[in-house]
Amino acid sequence: MRTAVVVGAGMSGLAAAGALARSGWRVLLLERAERVAAPPTAVVLWPNGQRALAALDPDGGWSAVWSPLPDGGVRRPDGQWLVAPHVRPGTGPAPAAVHLEDLYDALIAGLGDGVEIRTGFEVTTVVAGEGRRPAVGDGRTVIEADLVVGADGIDSRVRAAVAPEAVALGAGLAAWQAVIPGFRVPDLPGFVGGETLGSGYRFVAIPLGPLRGGVYWVATAAGAARPESPATQLTLLRRWFAGWHEPIGALLAATRPEELIPQGVRELRPLPRAYGFRSGPGGVVLIGDAAHAMPHHLGQGACLAFEDAATLRSLAAGVASGGDLGAAVEEYSRLRRPRTTTVIRQNRRMSAVVQARGRLALRARDAALNHMRPRILGRTLDPVTDWSPPD
């Protein structure tokens, strides 16, 4: 039986571990924290991410945990429509919102008995290279396997060992997320969510549907991460977005400091030269943010991570008990790197829209957005959202 070590028990690590186990692998899932826990926030899954999850676990009951999103349109801070709500162009189902706690529960339930979880294990060393069987260690214990999967996020220790050229850099903006629980959501008649663009500021509000209720919101602002406490940052957000159309003020007023998740937004520049590396009889692969962390302008981070896991499952299933694992590792890189490069290119185009600042830039953005937005969400994103798992 083939063996795999998956480093990191976030979304991509859980998805990859479960998929490998269902393909006949014996899997060890390592997590540096003392327990596997979801951040108290939410995520949007586009059709490509939904298809990836369905391929990873056809019996996962995914549609029970997410809620389809109507198009809420795009507004200016004064409430004027930049892009009125419309039927989404492109193919496939609508994007869907899911609370991360519900998504983690489903991913953990899909691990089965073929996955051993070891918490409190921080990988500090990675062994890889020609003639060397892949291994990871924490300074006390070394664990060898046929395959090492680096799912350990933007500051990946696995990536640092096999692709040190990829560096995490600031993307020029800070972000804040929060989920307001259903019992504290203010009265919002007709609320379907939506996006508002200002001068260097953005606010997105998303209803979480009937399963859990509540509202998920994301705010971004140009600049670096703030050093203040969450309570002070929430006060700043209320000041910055004061005067913006409702329900933005009501949502910020209903948010508590302990619900706020601030972050400095970073990205990998350049991308790793490859996502799969032969090592002895097996290899090392990178998935999720360890491979292609990017700003969340298009909401594709989680979707690409699930695509990675679904592609890895498809390739690894054929070598579960034999075959050339090294060739499968290289094929994974051949399939995934061009794909993520395309998405990142589109993400950077969107960045120019949502981060516009200055009177002339804003005037040009507002004038162009009615034409640009449908194109970005339609023909331009079709190659992104129409992705299907490999056979």
pLDDT digits (tens, 9 = 90+) for 338-347: 999 999 988 8
What's the CA angle centered on 347, arms 245 and 224, to 5 degrees? 65
Estimate to the nearest angstrom the gap between the alpha carbon of 332 and the chain centroid.
19
Over 80: is that where the pLDDT of 368 sits? no
pLDDT of 239: 97
In this prediction, residues 198-204 reach a mean pLDDT of 91
Amino acid 353: pLDDT:
67
**What mean pLDDT is reported for the chain?**
89
The predicted model scores a pTM of 0.92
Q: What is the dihedral of CA 225, 36, 184, 74, to 10 degrees?
A: 50
Residue 363 has pLDDT above 80, yes or no: no
pLDDT in tens, 137-160: 999 999 999 999 999 999 999 999
Instruction: Return the DSSP state at 377.
Output: H
Q: Give me the mean pLDDT over the 35-50 stretch.
A: 94
Percent residues over pLDDT 70 in the chain = 90
How are the residues of the chain apportioned to helix, strand and coil, as percentages rounded to the nearest 5? 35, 25, 40
- For residue 279, what pLDDT is reported? 95
- Does the pLDDT value for residue 253 go beyond 90? yes
Backbone torsion region of residue 4, taken as left when φ is above 0, otherwise alpha when ψ lies between -120 and 50, otherwise beta: beta
Q: What sign does the dihedral 214-187-198-84 (CA atoms) show?
A: positive
Closest Cα partner for 46 from 385, 274, 388, 390?
385
Q: What is the structure's pLDDT at 388? A: 84
Q: Which amino acid is at 227?
A: P
* Phi, psi for 257 (deg, rounded to 5): -55, -40
Nearest to 29, CA basis, from 120, 102, 124: 120
Given a cut of 70, whether residue 377 has pLDDT beyond it is no
- Mean pLDDT, range 24-50, rounded to an integer: 95
267 or 299: whose pLDDT is higher?
Answer: 267
pLDDT at residue 380 above 50? no
| Whether the predicted pLDDT of 362 surpasses 80 | no
Report pLDDT digits (tens) over 72-112. 888 999 999 888 887 655 555 789 999 999 999 999 999 98
pLDDT confidence of 356, banded at 50, 70, 90? Answer: low
